[in-house]
Structure 1
């Protein structure tokens, strides 16, 4: 035990470890807050769709030779978030079909571009690390950490500022529309916010595992609490703690960061399911 403590003390002396923890916990916090709304609105699959779009956007940025690809990925992902929402509202193309169409198309285009135009000698490795996460979160620059902090603050600020409107749109769109709330505008706002989170989370868990950060904390909190505010608070705490533990374990054990964080989420979900069953008299 003392050896592990000594290792942790040693690792916490390095700025790159602190940067990774800060970014990881900020991403976890933002994704968990939005995740509750997405799960309740049955928009969970939008995370999958936009994560694949982000993968395609990253491939485009890499082929175009951008040294800082985050602005490009962010712009493309936000644009497709808006397109995805608009397409899903089309009576001829239902929401699930629109998500499948855009996500699969973006994934195929991204993989094709990386194979045809990539100058890397290890295309398969590049694709794998992009899809499942890499150690790039441990090499973040101060600029990247600052950008993540600013974008996370914007997401949290917008969510808190429009909390009541988001609550109304989440539970009863018809009633919200009847009292004059611009439902379409707030749905669009949610789509843009989740697009921002998807882009930020790519360095942490990879494009294929992003949905876990959105879904697991929300579902776990719902096993124990029933009110909207309690679920959001529990989800936020759950997600931040799991991100911290997952990143620390990945550093100590040398395992993939993204997969380790998601595995901790899964284990915590199982624990909260058991607590929820006991609380409700199910066992």
Structure 2
């Protein structure tokens, strides 16, 4: 590890991975909300055409890729909004047209070798130059600041476009902003993950975060965390393993998703055993319900038909039969669907995620 950090190109690679791992999930969370998880792939294909134009004309491929991707993003959003064709068809046309144009144009360039093409398609983070890093840092800063400043409005539009339009939120401009942010993120991640794999870094960390987060804000924080671990960890692993950085980053992201899904699945099954349903009853316990109360830790249990019931997060836990003694071996049995009355001793109001 110390040896890796002392190498100049690895320092640049890790900084680039840090930038991409931060901003890709920030944009991706809104794409997941809008069910546009594959739009990053479309932008990547168009960006390849921009790279090819840059190589043929001798211009900076990063800048020409940015221009091509941004233009395509705006065109797709306008086509989708105006209803001349649906979003899937518009995306498919740009998707295939972009990669075809890129392959044809890049073949006319002196730098259009298979190796050069592969580094753009699948990433070549170790070839990142210091000038590239400055440009990526500037673009990443724009993405992060814009996304953070507009996140309430972007979430409102992504969650319910019709409602956002009804309350006066400028839906079309915000959709165009999101499309441009997506295109810019694709270009920033071009050297790190590759144009064909960038969509995975925008989507997979958000898919993992949805398994553990309880709110939009929490989901965004978890997604950034997963993105950073995937990008920085993937670059760090690719050095000793001598594997492509882009593929290693995506495989690590997928691995984190699988582990998270397995752990949360196990926890859910264990929790369901500890919270097995007890017999249901229509009665709601409260201070004036007439049933005796028994102090149990920091709350009260209600004695009802020989059973001790405690209000807990929208249902009742059964703490055993009264005749068998008051015990609670963490084997709570819940009566779901019978919310405890607000203000009842020991009751808890169900929490919901902060959707703002």
TM superposition score normalised by structure 2: 0.73
Cα offsets for 1:106-144 (capped at 9, x unmatched): 1111111122x1224x7223222321222xx22323222
* Cα pair 1:246 1:264 within 8 Å, conserved: yes
Name 2:117's counterpart in structure 1: 127
Name 1:100's counterpart in structure 2: 92
* Cα pair 2:52 2:61 within 8 Å, conserved: no
Runs of 4+ in 1 over 6 A off after TM superposition: none
Q: CA deviation at 1:11?
A: 1.4
Q: CA deviation at 1:255?
A: 0.4
Name 1:5's counterpart in structure 2: none
Name 1:113's counterpart in structure 2: 105
State the alpha-carbon separation in 1 of the partners of residues 105 and 129 from structure 2. Answer: 27
Instruction: Find 1:239's aligned residue among 227, 235, 248.
Output: 227
Which structure 2 residues correspond to residues 38-49 of structure 1 after superposition, within 5 A? 38-49=31-42
How big is the alpha-carbon RMSD for the aligned residues of Structure 1 and Structure 2? 1.5
Larger RCO (CA within 8 A; separation ≥ 6): 1
State the alpha-carbon separation in 2 of the partners of residues 197 and 154 from structure 1. Answer: 10
Q: CA deviation at 1:151?
A: 1.1
State the alpha-carbon separation in 1 of the partners of residues 50 and 103 from structure 2. Answer: 11
* Cα pair 1:16 1:139 within 8 Å, conserved: yes
* Cα pair 2:53 2:61 within 8 Å, conserved: no
Q: CA deviation at 1:155?
A: 0.8
Q: Do residues 225 (structure 1) and 213 (structure 2) align? A: yes
Cα offsets for 1:83-103 (capped at 9, x unmatched): 111112242311011111111
Ranges in structure 1 where 5+ consecutive residues have no aligned partner = 1-7
Secondary structure of the equivalent of 1:202?
coil
Secondary structure of the equivalent of 1:206?
coil
Ranges in structure 2 where 5+ consecutive residues have no aligned partner = 273-356
Q: CA deviation at 1:69?
A: 2.0
TM superposition score normalised by structure 1: 0.91
Secondary structure of the equivalent of 1:57?
helix
Aligned length, in residue pairs: 271
* Cα pair 2:21 2:232 within 8 Å, conserved: no
Q: CA deviation at 1:199?
A: 0.5
State the alpha-carbon separation in 2 of the partners of residues 259 and 266 from structure 1. Answer: 11
Which structure 2 residues correspond to residues 251-262 of structure 1 after superposition, within 5 A? 251-262=239-250
Q: CA deviation at 1:33?
A: 1.0
Which structure 2 residues correspond to residues 33-72 of structure 1 after superposition, within 5 A? 33-66=26-59, 68-72=60-64
Instruction: Find 2:153's aligned residue among 151, 155, 165.
Output: 165
Q: Do residues 80 (structure 1) and 68 (structure 2) align? A: no
State the alpha-carbon separation in 2 of the partners of residues 60 and 191 from structure 1. Answer: 22
The structure whose Rg is larger is 2
Instruction: Find 1:145's aligned residue among 119, 122, 133.
Output: 133
* Cα pair 2:45 2:196 within 8 Å, conserved: yes
* Cα pair 1:224 1:279 within 8 Å, conserved: no
Instruction: Find 2:22's aligned residue among 29, 32, 36.
Output: 29
State the alpha-carbon separation in 1 of the partners of residues 154 and 201 from structure 2. Answer: 20
State the alpha-carbon separation in 2 of the partners of residues 220 and 129 from structure 1. Answer: 28
Instruction: Find 1:12's aligned residue among 5, 29, 33.
Output: 5
